């Protein structure tokens, strides 16, 4: 296995790209962080962890998400401070009128083009541990410093890369390859989707182990999930 950081986009470094369509409608959707799901994904021979945070485990099912994402019971009240900064960022980046802002309570899902997911809970800490030795560390040790963000395509429905601090200040966006521990120093608002790859190959390869992701939110809530991985050279 070869681990690389790959960017297939033609965009400039640091740019958040709006899909090239006429007058896309963007609807901002805030959800509670009640559930976390960790999956092992692969793209162009790159293995990475995909960590989803959402209000209900059913929302990790794309079919359920498409049919029920407007259910009021699954949506948290929008955060005006965060949403205003998101709007300002896009409106400064694109010509006037190119982006239309919808309202979640009035949008017909059949005509929705962009559902912009975000969260408003603070991520106080997140650890990643293995149940066997990795990188010369004992089983159970925190390996979060061995992971970096990976972005491999222009995702249109979960492209949230903004760094918001715990006091809801927009600091910029996450760059491809940014060390995860650097991101944590911002005491950030948690992301809907976090994609992380090993920054380097563990010397113990080949190895088969369980990776457990545990996050602690600012409200004291703890979420965790475990995924089984096989790592080969």
pLDDT tens-digit series, residues 193-218: 999 999 998 999 999 999 999 999 99
Mean per-residue pLDDT of the chain? 81
Instruction: Specify which of 89-103, 105-119, 130-144 reaches the highest per-range mean pLDDT.
Output: 130-144
Alpha carbons 124 and 175: distance in angstroms, whole number:
21
| pLDDT value at 10 more than 90 | no
Model confidence at 71, in pLDDT bands (50, 70, 90)?
low
pLDDT of 66: 58
pLDDT of 67: 57
What φ, ψ does residue 122 adopt, rounded to 5°?
Answer: -80, 140
Alpha carbons 138 and 97: distance in angstroms, whole number:
55
pLDDT of 180: 97
pLDDT of 2: 28
| pLDDT value at 109 more than 80 | no
Tokens of 19: 């899909």
Of the ranges 15-29, 32-46, 169-183, which one carries the lowest mean pLDDT score? 15-29
Cα dihedral across residues 83, 113, 97, 20: positive or negative: positive
E strands, 55-135, are 100-101, 114-118, 123-130
What is each CA distance from 73 to 7, 31, 55, 141, in whole angstroms?
A: 37, 10, 9, 37
Under 8 Å between Cβ of 176 and 150: yes
Model confidence at 94, in pLDDT bands (50, 70, 90)?
confident
Tokens of 110: 């059949």
pTM of the predicted structure, to 2 decimals: 0.83
Q: Who's near 18: CB < 8 A, 6+ residues apart?
A: 24, 90, 93, 94, 98, 99
């Amino acid at each position: 296995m070869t681990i690389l950081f790959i960017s297939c986009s033609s965009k400039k470094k640091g740019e958040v790209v709006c899909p090239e369509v006429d007058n896309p409608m963007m609807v901002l959707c805030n959800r509670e962080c009640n559930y976390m799901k960790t999956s092992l994904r692969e793209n162009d021979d790159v293995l990475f962890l995909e960590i989803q945070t959402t209000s209900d485990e059913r929302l990790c099912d794309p079919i359920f998400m498409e049919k029920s994402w407007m259910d009021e019971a699954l949506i948290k009240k929008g955060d005006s401070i965060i949403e205003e900064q998101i709007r300002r960022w896009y409106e400064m980046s694109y010509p006037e009128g190119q982006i239309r802002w919808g309202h979640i309570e009035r949008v017909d899902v059949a005509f929705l083009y962009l559902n912009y997911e975000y969260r408003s809970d603070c991520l106080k800490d997140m650890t990643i541990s293995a149940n066997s030795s990795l990188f010369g560390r004992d089983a159970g040790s925190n390996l979060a410093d061995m992971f970096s963000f990976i972005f491999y395509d222009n995702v249109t429905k979960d492209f949230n890369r903004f760094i918001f601090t715990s006091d809801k200040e927009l600091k910029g966006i996450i760059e491809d390859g940014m060390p995860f521990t650097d991101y944590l120093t911002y005491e950030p608002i948690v992301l809907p989707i976090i994609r992380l790859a090993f920054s380097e190959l563990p010397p113990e390869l080949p190895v088969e182990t369980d990776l457990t992701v545990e996050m602690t939110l600012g409200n004291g809530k703890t979420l965790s999930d475990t995924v089984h991985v096989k790592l080969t050279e």
